[in-house]
Amino acid sequence: MKITAVHVDTLELAMEEPFVIASSALSTGPCDLVRVETDEGVVGIGEACPAYEFTGDTLWSVQDVIAEYLAPAVVGRDPFDIEAIHRCWERELFMVGNPAARAGLEMALWDLKGKALGRPLYDLVGGRSRTALQEVVALGWDEPAVLATKVGGMRAEGVRIFKVKVGDAPERDEQRVAAVREAAGPEALITVDANQGWWDAKTAIRAIRLLEQHGIEFVEQPVRMDDLGAARFVRGHVDVAIALDESVRGPREALACVKTGACDMFVVKLMKTGGILNALKVNAIAEAAGITVMMGNMGESSIGLSAHFHLNLALANAVHCDADLPGRPGGLMHDIGRGLRQEVGDGISWIDVPDAPGLGIEIVEEHVERQRVARRW
Under the criterion CB under 5 A, does residue 245 sit at the interface with Mg ion? yes
Q: Which is nearer to Mg ion, 161 or 363 (CB)?
A: 161
Window of 148-156, 178-186, 189-197, 366-374 that interacts with Mg ion by CB under 5 A = 189-197
The one-character DSSP state at 143 is -
Determine the size of the site formed for Mg ion (CB under 5 A): 3
Taking alpha carbons only, the member of 107, 63, 68 closest to residue 86 is 107
In whole angstroms, give the CA distance from residue 102 to residue 340: 24
Residue with Cβ nearer Mg ion (45 or 271): 271
The stretch near Mg ion (CB under 5 A) out of 23-31, 219-227, 334-342, 343-351 is 219-227
Smallest distance, Å, CB 187 to Mg ion?
Answer: 24
Instruction: Please give the Cα distance from 211 to 181 (Å, whole number).
Output: 11
Judged by CB under 5 A, which of 47, 142, 220, 227 binds Mg ion?
220
Least distance (Å) from Mg ion to the CB of residue 296? Answer: 6
Residue 103 forms beta bridges with which residues?
Answer: none
CA nearest 204: which of 173, 175, 176?
173
Comparing CA positions, the residue from 226, 271, 235 lying closest to residue 253 is 226
The question of whether 245 is a catalytic residue gets the answer yes
The answer to whether the CB of 164 falls within 8 A of the CB of 190 is: yes
The one catalytic residue in 115, 150, 165, 272 is: 165
Count the alpha carbons within 13 Å of 340 in the hemisphere toward its beta carbon.
29
Question: Pick from 195, 213, 215: which is nearest to 204 by CA?
Answer: 195
Find the catalytic residue in 57, 173, 193, 335. Answer: 193
Nearer to Mg ion, 10 or 247 (CB): 247
Q: Is residue 193 among the annotated active site residues?
A: yes
Q: Which is nearer to Mg ion, 37 or 300 (CB)?
A: 300
Catalytic annotation present for 220: yes
Q: Does 193 bind Mg ion (CB under 5 A)?
A: yes
Does residue 324 bind Mg ion (CB under 5 A)? no
Rounded to whole angstroms, the Cα distance separating 325 from 340 reads 8
Q: Which helix (H) or strand (E) holds 299?
A: none
Catalytic residue IDs:
165, 193, 220, 245, 269
The residues binding Mg ion (CB under 5 A) are 193, 220, 245
